[in-house]
A and B are shown apart, each in its own frame.
Chain A
């Protein structure tokens, strides 16, 4: 989507390995979200960054998941000791008023 670049677009990793997913807003936004879409599931909220406020981590499914946003711009989502149930499309989104603009996502496959 316009304004949001995600990398890699696809990632295959072995169970137990750590992975890092990147979200790069092309234009500066204060509000950034991570969502994931598992097979057959809706979009699941993971974490929300708003300016210098403490992030809302209420959606992270376990302590293996963490995210940071450096300098109010690039964000990375890290999954440690990946499990097969972590396989999903991970989407980054920026807030435009009441709406979200999504990146194309990273498809993570844990084998």
Chain B
């Protein structure tokens, strides 16, 4: 049972444009959501998070939006840069901490010059 789903395995965006990565979840108990970024041959690194009490969190070029009624969150990157090319994982937790993190399958983002 895939509780966190990233339905797009890959996404290609032109440099300078907006990248939008989507994530859906099924467990209504999830209250904390994170995005991780992974380069080849490296472990994932934390990018941005959002608590269920908010619907938007912004950090520089990165913004995460949470729609609790739709059980959907998205990551916006604008403007997209070549260094943003990586695999992005959405993750969710039901207890607000790392222990119960459930990850999506990941979306490979490619930024084209």
Identify the A interface with B (CB < 8 A): 1, 4, 9, 31, 33, 35, 37, 40-45, 48, 56, 91, 93, 95, 97-105
Contact = CB atoms under 8 A, between A and B. Distances in A.
Contacts of B93: 98
B103 A100 contact: no
A40 B9 contact: yes
A45 B101 contact: yes
Given A40-B9, A42-B4, A104-B41, A99 B105 contact: no
Interface in B43-88: 43-46, 49
B93 to A, nearest CB: 8
Given A43-B103, A45-B102, A102 B89 contact: no
Contact of A43 (B49, B89, B96, B97): B89
B102 A99 contact: no
B98 A100 contact: yes
Most chain B beta-carbon contacts within 10 A, residue among A1, A97, A100, A105: A100
A97 B105 CA distance: 24
Contacts of B97: 98
B103 A42 contact: yes
Q: How large is the interface on B (under 10, 10 to 19, 20 to 34, 35 or more residues)?
A: 20 to 34
- Most chain A CB within a 10 A radius of its CB, from B6, B42, B97, B98: B98
B52 to A, nearest CB: 13
B30 interface: no
Give the most central of A37, A42, A45: most B CB within 10 Å: A42
Query: Which of A31, A93, A98 neighbours the largest number of chain B CB atoms within 10 Å of its CB?
Result: A98
A60 to B, nearest CB: 15
A48 B43 contact: no
A57 B34 CA distance: 23
B99 interface: yes
6 contacts: A35-B103, A40-B105, A42-B4, A43-B101, A100-B101, A103-B43
Contacts of A41: 105
B45 A102 contact: yes
Contacts of B6: 42
A40 B2 CA distance: 13
